[in-house]
Structure 1
């Protein structure tokens, strides 16, 4: 299984080796140049940041691409706290960097997890972080696009702050995170409705809804009912089961997750990559005997 997963992690759960291998190959497909994924939720505390790190970790560990997750939360985002810190730099420091043409100039402002996922932290000073706006986000994105193949943005909970406007304008795919509870589900429904009413109909229609379990059993609402509801309104739905490792709220490490949780993140990553996959063209070899008289071999 470790050879299937590139030597970094072992996936498992209820799937057999053939299923895992097939999902891993889907994750590894070549992609086009516009992989900009926004991970959002209108309600806090539903696992949005955890999903960002988990998904990004799978992508980074299975692919050869440079993968980065950006914290665009204007209210002291916690993304950088979910992996070991290698720098105190933030997105503000990156924007103030005089030269960003070389990868090494950007890398000194990021932290990298064991999965190879890099994280760019949000500003830690509340007074400064509130000033992070659309233009600054788009400038940061322009810098990152030069060096990274896959960019994930961990959004704040609001939909109308300036940075979010930049996120939605530039995003080419959306993951909407909710919990298996009435208030979380209602927030997800409201988010889809807001997106549809503000010019993001296609983004909403092709979104992937992630239902992140917040307790080990006895979910407040029927998860299968939620899945069926959102399947009729979005491209796909993925359930992330409850996991003690994720519930702690500390570092997110794929090796410390339960096999079923890793398998769910693997399936989510395969679903996310699929629309961006670039299939190589097929070339039909010419028949060397074409045009020759008589019987051909």
Structure 2
């Protein structure tokens, strides 16, 4: 065999270059480059339908024998789409809001932890009510802030929700609920029961007082001899009228547990708010009330009770120890701090409360609203 003097390479070393061959076109879905404001960026020219078609084709090829995991190319899920289009809640205050405004909305640092907690608290308070929800506010000791708790709680619900909220004075001992709102209506629950018609909301509204918070109040008789005659049957008739027009009903009870009206109130209540003070006698009275309720067939109501510890003075009473104590047998415990606006004994405006007091009432409302749709609770 004659030698090859040209020194040609073996086929494994041979490199063929054909100048007429055009470079391979980029993939159809390759990102296209563009220049904008001297900044080089990529803009993916991918449509969702094309992505899904390609994903289905890949799965068909895998079904024909290629079962290797493809971590680099998986089908688009609903979660992926949600992540792509999700928008952070806009900040409402602080430096985060300043950055958002200054950037014209293009930079959104999101909510601060405090804003997020506030939003989540409001979401709890605004949970929808199925039908109506009835709250009984009770204490067996006078002067513990039962009526102010009723107004503060009701005003919080009414000011933060869009539905109707009413507080009813069922105290037979000269109740003062109507006098904790401005310009009380002289009409009472007795007038409502004597009304020729209560089918329309306007006919009921004529007997109530509406506070600036939108809370409505239905007062009791000012004559003790007449108010004492308010029976369990009267309360049930009142309840039948109000539940057709209101979503949240709060009843300010008297201090006598053995009064037959209190029995009717408890029988129809979804939640009991038991009001106490940090003082030793106030705590003992509240604990004895829970014992009495458990012994007389209201054990299920005790387990759903929310205890409110009212700090009537600025004295540093140990309210937190009561939170631990009552928390062992009740659903929740909330401490309401001392507030001069409440202490003056006149009408209550939630906008005039200290921020800490206003927050405490919101937390109380959220605790109660947690039961609005509880499948295992009394509210069914």
TM-score bin (small chain): 0.7 to 0.9
**Which of 331, 338, 341 is the matching residue for 1:242?**
338
TM alignment of 1:47-196, pairs within 5 A: 47-196=145-294
**1:74-104 per-position Cα deviation (integer Å, ceiling 9, x unaligned):** 0110100000124200000000001000001
Distance 2:165 2:132 in 1: 13
After superposition, give the CA deviation of every residue in 1:225-273 in whole Å (9 maximum; x if it has no partner): 1110000010000000000101111111111000000000000000101
Residue 17 of structure 1 deviates from its aligned partner by 2.1
| SS in structure 1 at match of 2:221 | coil
Counterpart pick for 1:263 among 342, 359, 369 = 359
Report the alpha carbon displacement of residue 218 of structure 1 after superposing the two structures with TM.
Answer: 2.6
Q: CA RMSD in A?
A: 1.5
Other-structure match for 1:46 = 144
Alignment counterpart, residue 252 of structure 1, candidates 324, 327, 348: 348
Report the TM-score, using the length of structure 1 for normalisation.
Answer: 0.87
Higher relative contact order (CA 8 A, sep 6+): 1
Note if contact 1:134-1:162 (Cα within 8 Å) is conserved in structure 2.
yes
CA deviation string 1:127-177 (max 9, x = no partner): 111100100000000000010011000000110112111101111111000
Matches within 5 A, 1:214-253: 214-219=312-317, 222-253=318-349
Cα distance, 1:19 vs. partner? Answer: 1.3
* Structure 2: gaps of 5 or more residues: 1-90, 93-112, 376-380
SS of 1:277's equivalent in the other structure is coil
Taking the aligned partners of 2:349 and 2:114, their CA distance within structure 1 comes to 22
Gaps of 5+ in 1: 5-14, 280-297
How many residues are aligned here? 265
Separation in 2, partners of 1:236, 1:126: 34
Equivalent position SS for 2:324:
helix
Q: Which has the larger radius of gyration?
A: 2
Could you list the structure 1 runs, at least 4 aligned residues long, displaced by more than 3 angstroms after superposition: none
Q: Secondary structure at the match of 1:123?
A: coil
**What CA distance in whole angstroms lies between the structure 1 residues aligned with 2:148 and 2:213?**
14
CA contact (8 A) 1:39 1:175 kept: yes
Q: Distance in 1 between matches of 2:220 and 2:177?
A: 8
Q: Distance in 2 between matches of 1:216 and 1:152?
A: 28
Alignment of 1:8-27 (within 5 A): 16-27=114-125
After TM superposition, give the deviation of residue 56 of structure 1 in Å. 0.4
Match of 2:368 in 1: 272
Tell me what 1:292 maps to.
Answer: none
